[in-house]
Structure 1
């Protein structure tokens, strides 16, 4: 039991940040991402004895996280509730935490943050299966095969969802840009 706990803690140290980034991309806000992480870690720990150690831990953990997120989406859509909380976290960019370039003009950081906010809004406006596929590929850098395992679909479907997701995100971003919806 003690060895199991230590193994689990070590794997979380290695993959926790990646899982949090994925949770944040799915949910679009810090609090929901933390809630998703807590639930995913609890489920992963509970079922850690069934984890096949010949397979990548990050794929297994992200699959759990993805399933928890989908369960929540189904539950909320069943109750006809929609989250309007799509703002970036107070501590910086929604896409990644980047230290400002000390040589950059003062306005550059503002433009970068506004662009990041628009990208996050465009991503959040995309249906979850496209958003998940694009996030896992373009942000997390996973292979099509890994994404297929996490999402429970064939590689061809993954490729299609990534392509369509990118198109939808680009259109949403362009629409936001035209409307000048920068907060």
Structure 2
């Protein structure tokens, strides 16, 4: 059993009340529900896709889909976990579409043309000042994570970037807890192998059996 962090129950109660109000017709309250997670959704999409425009499209589509599917949210997981699962699915769809387009050599000059999105989301690119420190190290980390296979990249994003628990990561990805642990272990080994020669001087991993536990990310 996992214990909820302080304030988590109050947050969950607030979200439950908002969801009930939205489903009863107060649609404008959806923006109150989604606002705390706007940046998280965008940054998750960006970390997976490595393209700002595509990340914006995916984030907007994920939030729109969450609105449409809100009645199916049963509260078994946290709302944020459910929302991230939708974001990951949208990002995967985008990656598959890119792969098909690349294979077929399609010229999609009208991609996204005329798309009408819901209310404009805010603060996606507003990064805290400390995130701008050690830019070189951060850039190396981003590059290394971008080169991971998608299944490993997803686990690293959720566990080390978004700091979800193992249980929440498993829920978001729709896989077992043991598989999350295996993928995360392998992903961190791959990251260490790729980064160790370059980060030996620039940055030292957290001293916990030499495993990279926290990443200099957004």
Question: What is the Cα deviation at residue 176 of structure 1?
Answer: 6.1
Aligned to 1:165: 187
- Give the drift of 1:46: 1.2
* Matched residue SS, 2:163: coil
Normalising by the residue count of structure 1, what TM-score does the alignment of the two structures yield? Answer: 0.75
In structure 2, runs of 5+ residues without a counterpart are: 1-22, 104-124, 201-218
Structure 1 pair 4/165, CA: closer, same or farther in 2 (3 Å)?
Answer: farther
Which one of the candidate residues 45, 57, 68 is aligned to 1:23? 45
Residues 17/65 of structure 1: CA separation in 2 closer, same or farther (3 Å cut): same
Q: Which residue of 2 aligns with 1:142?
A: 164
User: 1:76-115 maps to which residues of 2 (within 5 A)?
Assistant: 76-80=98-102, 97-99=127-129, 109=133, 112-115=134-137
Given that residues 156 and 187 in structure 2 are in contact (C-alpha distance below 8 angstroms), is that contact kept between their aligned partners in structure 1?
Answer: yes
| Deviation, structure 1 residue 79 | 4.0
The 1:51/1:116 distance shift into structure 2, 3 A limit, reads same
Match of 1:116 among 132, 138, 142: 138
Aligned partner of 1:105 in structure 2 is none
Q: Following TM superposition, by how much is the alpha carbon of 1:40 offset from its aligned partner in structure 2, in angstroms?
A: 0.4
Distance verdict in 2 for CA 1:66–1:100, change over 3 Å: closer
Partner in structure 1 of residue 93 of structure 2: 71
Shift of 1:47: 1.1
2:155 and 2:24 map into 1 onto residues whose CA distance is 36
* Mapped partners of 1:4, 1:44: distance in 2: 16
RMSD: 2.7
Larger relative helix fraction? 1
Q: Which structure 1 segments of 5+ residues have no match? A: 82-93, 102-107, 179-183
CA distance in 1, matches of 2:59, 2:197: 32
